[in-house]
Amino acid sequence: MKSAGTIILGKQCGNALVCWLLCLVVFCFELSGFEQWSNTSPVLTVEVTPRFDAVPVSLGTMTQTNVSGQVFSVTRLDMLLSRVALRRLDGIWIEATNSLAFLSLEGKRTKLEASGLPVGRYDRLRFYVGLDPKSNHADPAQYPAAHPLNPNLNGLHWGWQGGYVFLALEGRWQSANGESGGYSYHLGNDFMLTAIELPLVIDLQGNHTAAASLHLNRLLGGKPALVFDEENSVTHAREGDALAMRLRNQLRDAFAIEEITAAGMTAGNAKPPMKRLLAKTATPYRFVLARQFPPPELPLDNPLTEEGVELGRTLFNDVRLSVNNTQSCASCHQTEAAFTDVSQFSVGAEGKAGTRNAMPLFNLAWKKSFFWDGRAASLREQVLMPIENPVEMHESLTNVVAKLVATEIYPALFERAFGTKEIDADRVARALEQFLLTIVSYRSKFDRAMQGREQLTEQEKRGFELFVTEYDPRRGFYGADCFHCHGGPMFSNQSFANNGLDAKFSDIGLGEVTRREFDLGRFAVPSLRNVAVTAPYMHDGRFKTLEEVVEHYVSGVKASPSLDPNLAKHPAGGVPLSEADKKALVAFMKTLTDEAFLSKQAQVNQALSGPR
């Protein structure tokens, strides 16, 4: 029997159609052997390039200068575009049958494709920044992982408040006098749906691409000149928000068509077959998630099976993966601490201490990258790195495979999972990936309260109110402003942020991977689920208690060029909160502990410690 408020991807499912399709794709669908059929109607692709004074915008660089003489950067530019239509020469608008896109400067997502348009001549293009009310208020958990409205993909859903941000523009600014700060402009809510109408001349006889520009100098221009300061650092897109309305009106004139090219009608090419390792007798794994969670993007080439997950769990708890057979993955990712380490720095198999706190391991199916610095793009890539790391387990993959081959149990376990007794590093990684993907946490007191099955205390309710409310005294908002980074059902935006721990960095985080200046000091934003049991906190474990964490955001935020704009827009030091509100915020975060998850994982893994 499944618990209330859950969906099972497998034999049974509350949302039967979605789950059946997901399981069909993940477990049964063979990509090889299917012909790829091209669309018989023309496709119009609108490709948008953000520009400032005709120059393409470079992410994170302080290279733009506004009319007030302030230099500024763009660290985020994301938007939702919808409802493409073309106007015929007789004045009748023809709307495409399928046109919805999530565009992102950092994600290099630039294209909006419109299909179902009839052949003909047209003289105007129209699309919308934003969504119609029905789409805006639909259940975001219904959308598949690759869908533009999947909140885990776009990071634009308001979370518990409901609805989407239609356009998010964020960055840093600096005036000639040395004053600096951050800006965070979010346009959302139904009344902010903005129609963009552009002249063009096109004879749509085949596929075409319309190269468009979004001119930020127009968006941020106008009269009187827009000056970055405390008064103009943030928009809330609520009724009566004059700055938001100004930006919306200027958005209408900020787009322009630069060029139209004909691409022709080309046949699709079949993709090479995926390497799927799977025993014929393997049992599909029933993946369970909360109803409010969006569907994850599970690996098509490594379908979850009961046998694969069991093998991965066994490997996770096996000390043979370390150089001296003394340490397993579970040694530093302890079940009672939501699969993290209660020590500030984990000590490796040979007694060497690391420099970062071990990250919790749950809800990994929704993550886009791994490690504090994001250097691994997949779990399959990530799981092998600690084994070979000289500070951690310090074992070669060749030796690991040899140890497993020499056992009595592992050849049989690999055969049950992958259909062969052969053991190699790839199959080890696949098994560990399967196990880690199944570690899902969603049954906290807060979740039960959202389902109407439990009540939060008044203090916890106050903490939640603070959590989801902006801090902007000029407009009457006095929240803690936590939701920009920790919003939604995952309690993480699955991104990276410099949260003001240091003005100068001994550990540059994401910057070490990307070599981009604005990534210096940025680290993965962790989920706040189970946060009460995952101390110590931050990438270096510097804070021992949640009270210390809250105090950091109240008085300890340090300015630096890469400080997140949603922190840089606040007063120096942080967001002022009363002692009562600090306690309320901590009380709310403690409602995110999933006791059932912790208990279940402890029971399952207890029998698996030690070599076989």
Q: What is the CATH number of the domain that holds 486?
A: 1.10.760.10
Contact predicate 13/21, CB 8 Å: no
The residue assigned the tokens 């075409």 is 208
- Residue 75 and residue 561: Cα distance in Å, rounded? 11
**Helix H or strand E segment including 100:** strand 100-104
Count: domains in the chain:
3
Domain boundary pick from 406, 437, 468:
437
- Residue 545 and residue 526: Cα distance in Å, rounded? 16
Has residue 2 got a pLDDT over 60?
no
- Give the type of residue at 368: K
Cα 117 to chain centroid distance, Å, stands at: 33
The pLDDT value recorded for residue 462 is 98
The residue assigned the tokens 């150089």 is 323
Has residue 370 got a pLDDT over 70?
yes
Per-residue pLDDT tens over the stretch 396-409:
999 999 999 999 99
Q: pLDDT confidence of 1, banded at 50, 70, 90?
A: very low
End-to-end CA distance of the chain, in Å? 33
Q: pLDDT confidence of 88, banded at 50, 70, 90?
A: very high
CA-angle at 363, arms to 358 and 366, nearest 5°:
110
Contact predicate 602/449, CB 8 Å: no
The pLDDT value recorded for residue 17 is 40
The pLDDT value recorded for residue 606 is 62
The pLDDT value recorded for residue 190 is 95
In this structure, the strands spanning 55-56 and 44-52 are antiparallel
Q: pLDDT confidence of 100, banded at 50, 70, 90?
A: very high
DSSP string covering 335-386, please? GGGTSB-SSSS-B-TTS-B-SSPPPP-SSGGG-SSBSTT--BSSHHHHTTHH
Whether residue 510 lies inside any domain: the answer is yes
419 and 452 fall within a common domain: no
100 and 212 fall within a common domain: yes
* Nearest alpha-carbon partner for 456 in 588, 594, 585, 596: 588
CA-angle at 17, arms to 12 and 21, nearest 5°:
90
In this structure, the strands spanning 255-262 and 55-56 are unpaired
Structure tokens at 299: 């690996």
78 and 220 fall within a common domain: yes
Per-residue pLDDT tens over the stretch 50-68:
999 999 999 999 999 998 8
430 and 453 fall within a common domain: no
The pLDDT value recorded for residue 8 is 57
- Give the type of residue at 576: P
51 and 78 fall within a common domain: yes
Per-residue pLDDT tens over the stretch 197-221:
999 999 999 999 999 999 999 999 9
Where do runs of H (alpha helix) occur along 184-305?
216-219, 242-251
CA-angle at 53, arms to 50 and 54, nearest 5°:
60
Cis peptide before 224 (omega within 30 of 0): yes
Has residue 264 got a pLDDT over 90?
no
* Nearest alpha-carbon partner for 172 in 567, 549, 464, 507: 567
344 and 394 fall within a common domain: yes
58 and 192 fall within a common domain: yes
Cis peptide before 536 (omega within 30 of 0): yes
- Give the type of residue at 529: R
Whether residue 32 lies inside any domain: the answer is no
- Residue 200 and residue 496: Cα distance in Å, rounded? 39
User: Looking at the DSSP assignment, which residues form a beta bridge with residue 94?
Assistant: 86
- Residue 327 and residue 333: Cα distance in Å, rounded? 11
Segment 322-337 mean pLDDT: 95
430 and 503 fall within a common domain: no
Whether residue 221 lies inside any domain: the answer is yes
Domain boundary pick from 232, 262, 292:
262
225 and 88 fall within a common domain: yes
Whether residue 289 lies inside any domain: the answer is no
Contact predicate 32/301, CB 8 Å: no
428 and 320 fall within a common domain: yes
Where do runs of H (alpha helix) occur along 99-177?
133-136, 151-154
Whether residue 14 lies inside any domain: the answer is no
- Residue 337 and residue 174: Cα distance in Å, rounded? 42
Whether residue 416 lies inside any domain: the answer is yes
368 and 452 fall within a common domain: no
Domain boundary pick from 386, 420, 437:
437
- Residue 20 and residue 181: Cα distance in Å, rounded? 49
Return the higher-pLDDT residue of 385 and 20: 385
Q: If you average pLDDT over every residue of the chain, what do you get?
A: 90
The residue assigned the tokens 């293009």 is 125
Whether residue 609 lies inside any domain: the answer is no
433 and 449 fall within a common domain: no
Contact predicate 526/371, CB 8 Å: no
Q: Is 235 helix (H, G, I), strand (E, B) or coil?
A: coil
Segment 412-435 mean pLDDT: 97
Segment 118-125 mean pLDDT: 95
Report the percentage of the chain scoring pLDDT > 70. Answer: 91
The pLDDT value recorded for residue 605 is 62
Q: How far is CA 153 from CA 84, 150, 209, 302, 367, in A?
A: 21, 5, 25, 21, 10
Question: Tell me, what DSSP letter sits at residue 562?
Answer: T
The pLDDT value recorded for residue 603 is 73
- Residue 103 and residue 77: Cα distance in Å, rounded? 8
The pLDDT value recorded for residue 444 is 97
The pLDDT value recorded for residue 230 is 84
Q: pLDDT confidence of 503, banded at 50, 70, 90?
A: very high
- Domain interval for residue 325: 300-437
Segment 309-328 mean pLDDT: 97
Whether residue 242 lies inside any domain: the answer is yes
Q: pLDDT confidence of 608, banded at 50, 70, 90?
A: low
Contact predicate 550/586, CB 8 Å: yes
